[in-house]
């Protein structure tokens, strides 16, 4: 009996060895098949990886918000995320100065080290700098961050500073500056900031709130675009009289509760586009009535700027300026039906973005009422 059991075990072992050998041959064949497939994968070049570095760099630039808009410093739509894909793309991103030329100094992640790294990566590119405490909250050491940026003043092209406190001293030559946006929560302690024409020879677009408008002196005549925010029309007048080369003007006005003095006419001979908004209180017709704008083509207002008789006011305004208005956009609440505007001014394209005040069916449709 024992000899039979031993013989059976020997036979079973032989059978197992044969089966193991077959499996090893199958595994070896599978390894060969795997190696062949891997070789094919290794030899394949993904089309995106065959693009020249210059093309990839251009794609990266278009991935970001359009300059001069500042991208986030981290996360989606940031140039930083492009450095996390692969080594090749990281090298391309770090070697593309245009990716790092627009910087928002707001946010908790943005430190001196971060700022110096981005300024270094931006190479010789013109810079777009944004620091908006009104939108993003208090920025610790804001003045020091701005002072660091001003070490690169020769490259500053777009500068937006909206600060809770007074700004640092920025009176200096800014040869590339074309757009300046300032909003302050405090008066300048040491008098106005003055920029002469030689300091900012390329400056063309400016945005100011009322405190900033009292705190800076600019070469007004060279401006072609001006936005004045949270300001009364009386405060706008002295500036508008000097901005004789404006092409676009936006006035975000507040109603002056005090009786305004009569404002003499203001001529803006090259103005093509005028946009006026208000704080939804009081008549604002005295704000655009003094303007003489012979080149005006586009007007955007609320009906409060057109006085109690909008069609009559608009007729007088167009006649006084001898302008050829093409587009009028009336925003907010209205008392005049759309068809009356279009009947009175058949050559002008009108856009309305709200309904009439009150019951439309009860509105007087007699055009002479307006």
Query: Model confidence over 188-197: pLDDT tens digits?
Result: 656 788 899 9
What are residue 322's phi and psi, to 5 degrees? 55, 40
pLDDT at 192: 82
H/E element holding 179? strand 179-184
The rounded distance, in Å, linking the Cα atoms of 177 and 159 is 8
pLDDT at 362 over 70: no
pLDDT of 229-270, one tens digit each? 999 888 899 999 999 999 999 999 987 655 456 789 999 999
Distance of alpha carbon 67 from the chain centroid: 8
pLDDT at 34 over 90: yes
Angle separating helix axes 53-63 and 87-94, nearest 10 degrees: 70
DSSP string, 308-333: SSHHHHHHHHHHHHT----EEEEES-
> In which residue are the tokens 């949270």 written?
230
Averaged pLDDT for residues 175-189: 86
Give the dihedral of Cα atoms 344, 347, 353, 358; nearest 10 deg.
10
The answer to whether the bond into 68 is cis (omega within 30° of 0) is yes
Per-residue confidence at 358, pLDDT binned at 50, 70, 90?
low
Rounded Cα gap, residues 39 and 295, in angstroms: 70
Residue 324, CA atoms < 13 Å, CB-side half-sphere: 0
**How far apart (Å, rounded) are the C-alpha atoms in residues 215 and 184?**
9
Q: What is the reported pLDDT for 158?
A: 98
Q: Is residue 29 scored above 60 in pLDDT?
A: yes
* This prediction's pTM: 0.82
DSSP one-letter code for 27 = H
Predicted confidence band at 370 (pLDDT cuts at 50, 70, 90)?
very low
Helix or strand or coil: residue 163?
strand
The average confidence (pLDDT) of the chain is: 88
Q: Residue range 199-218: average pLDDT? A: 94
């Amino acid at each position: 009996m024992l000899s039979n059991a031993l013989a059976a075990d020997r036979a079973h072992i032989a059978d197992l060895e044969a089966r193991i050998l077959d499996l090893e041959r199958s595994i070896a064949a599978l390894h060969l098949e795997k190696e062949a497939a891997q070789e094919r994968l290794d030899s394949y070049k993904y089309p995106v990886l065959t693009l020249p570095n210059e093309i990839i760099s251009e794609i990266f630039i278009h991935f970001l918000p359009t300059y001069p808009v500042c991208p986030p410093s981290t996360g989606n739509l940031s140039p930083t995320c492009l450095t996390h894909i692969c080594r090749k793309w990281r090298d391309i991103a770090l070697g593309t100065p245009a990716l790092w030329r627009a910087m928002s100094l707001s946010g908790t992640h943005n430190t001196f080290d971060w700022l110096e790294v981005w300024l270094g990566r931006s190479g010789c590119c013109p810079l777009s700098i944004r620091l908006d405490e009104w939108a993003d909250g208090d920025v610790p050491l804001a003045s020091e961050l701005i002072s660091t940026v001003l070490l690169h003043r020769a490259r500053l092209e777009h500068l937006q500073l909206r600060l809770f406190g007074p700004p640092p001293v920025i009176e200096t030559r800014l040869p590339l500056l074309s757009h300046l946006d300032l909003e302050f929560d405090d008066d300048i302690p040491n008098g106005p900031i003055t920029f002469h024409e030689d300091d900012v020879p390329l400056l063309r677009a400016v945005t100011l709130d009322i405190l900033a408008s009292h705190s800076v002196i600019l070469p007004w005549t060279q401006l072609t675009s001006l936005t004045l925010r949270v300001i009364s029309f009386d405060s706008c007048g002295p500036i508008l009289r000097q901005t004789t080369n404006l092409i676009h003007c936006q006035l975000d006005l507040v109603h002056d509760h005090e009786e305004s003095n009569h404002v003499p006419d203001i001529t803006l001979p090259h103005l093509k586009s005028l946009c006026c908004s208000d704080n939804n209180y009081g008549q604002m017709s005295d704000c655009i009535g003094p303007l003489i704008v012979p080149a005006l083509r586009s007007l955007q207002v609320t009906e409060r700027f057109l006085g109690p008789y909008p069609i009559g006011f608009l007729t007088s305004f167009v006649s006084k300026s001898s302008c050829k208005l093409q587009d009028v956009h009336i925003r907010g609440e209205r008392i005049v039906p759309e068809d009356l505007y279009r009947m009175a001014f058949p050559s002008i394209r009108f856009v309305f973005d709200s309904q009439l005040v009150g019951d439309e069916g009860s509105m007087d449709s007699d055009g002479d009422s307006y």
